[in-house]
Amino acid sequence: MSKKLPPETNYEFDIDTTIEKLGPRKVDSQLPFKYFADNRRTKLVLDREHAEELATPVSVEFQAAGPRQKLYFDPSRAKCAIVTCGGLCPGVNDVIRALVMEAHHQYKVPAILGISYGLEGFIPEYRHKVWELTPSMVSDRHLYGGTMLGSSRGPQSSEAIVDSLERMNISCLFIIGGDGTLRAASAIVKEIRSRNLRISVIGIPKTIDNDINFVPQSFGFETAVDKATEAIQCAHTEAEGAHNGIGLVKLMGRESGFIAAQASLSLKEVNFVLIPETPFVLDGPGGLLPALEERLISRKHAVIVAAEGAGQHLMRQATANTDASGNVMLSDVLVMLKDAIQTHFKQKGVPISLKTIDPSYIIRSVPANANDRVYCGFLGQHAVHAAMAGKTNMVVAKIMDRYVHVPLDLIIRKRRKLNIYSDFWRAVIESTGQGDLAGMMPEEDGA
């Protein structure tokens, strides 16, 4: 049970929403607005739906995003750089486009550079091209998936990156990426600070898994869910078309099952959802296979959706090997479930028709839908406002429909996971009817 702390702390751990700034703002903004966000704070009431550390709802104040009346940088002398890192996600090109359009048209920034292939683009040995981004170059990029700048995984030297920033005379660096990328951004900020440089570093959180701490929904997630439901519908059609038909779909979600849960809740055709946050068993009381058998007896078909990180505890071949980003290499839950299901029903002498679908790379490579495009546009605009005002060591995020500035330190403390005590997970359980499976329901409230 969480310990209740004095009101001024709000959380089990100390939290500070103060945003770092490069120095006093002395340049008058030339934006044609009468409304500025200089001294505005956004008070939000957060609960365990937003951060599982919260025992009870608390009020937290964040610095509101938006244009400032006074700027730190003289836009006519500023120089921006944009870099995209990590895996693909719907909407990355939309964010790039919004950054370029805002910096060029609103602030008249004379130079906006695009860094090729992630953080590798800063390292001279890779010889990746640096692009000068213009409105004409990005005007239609939102119609395409992926990232026009290219991406890469893996750490690079923060010293070498800051060397490049100095050589290019960069004023503002916009880093679009997930948990590992934002940790790299924090290291870059520390190196900039150690050299007493005046370079703003603004992060735009990107993750298709929706696992960024303090960010209830990351851009591209809604598009990913839309595409995931198409795969689930296909699996359902296949399952209904055969006697004892089973549709098995694997969706992205290494450590969190948000896509699997949201897509299943949306479509209402899913009978079993398996996510990393709720370890399940295959056999015995509360086992998946006996429950699947009962489902086939009663309804003659079934649909199973599994996040890629689900079931790792059941696979002996799981290793401690990591990929270039430092993520543990996962065993394939789709293969494990397929083999287990086929073996179980073969031993029972029950014929089945099992179809497997893995749409992972289709989902993350598609263009953003309309709502995600709007979201990305706001993120890009607010990131430019923050950078021109000399904010740094922060990300722009949307929390409870409010755009705010969040310190990088809060974002990178841990990865966000689906809260199994939440109303959201309860709704998923009610939709699928899988409450009798072992591990699906929390034993107690925990509040």
Q: Which residues does the annotation mark as catalytic? A: 209
Backbone angles phi, psi at 106, to 5 degrees: -90, -40
How would you class 362 by CB atoms within 10 Å of its CB: exposed for 0-12, middle for 13-18, buried for 19 or more? middle
* Beta carbons within 10 angstroms of residue 168's beta carbon: 16
Backbone angles phi, psi at 233, to 5 degrees: -65, -40
Tracing tokens 């296909």 back to the chain, one arrives at 234
| Number of helices (H), then strands (E), in the chain | 12, 17
Which residue in 254, 290, 285 sits closest to 272, CA to CA? 290
Helix, strand or coil, per DSSP, at residue 338: helix
| Alpha-carbon span 95 to 300, nearest angstrom | 46
Amino acid at 243: H
Residue 172: beta bridge partners?
A: 80, 200
CB 324 within 8 A of CB 184: no
CB 197 within 8 A of CB 162: yes
CB 64 within 8 A of CB 44: no
Inter-axis angle of helices 221-240 and 258-267, nearest 10 = 60
CB 132 within 8 A of CB 168: no
* Beta carbons within 10 angstroms of residue 401's beta carbon: 7
79-84 vs 111-115, strand pairing mode: parallel
| CB within 8 Å of 90: residues ≥ 6 apart | 145, 208, 219, 220, 223, 224, 364, 365, 366, 367, 368, 369, 372
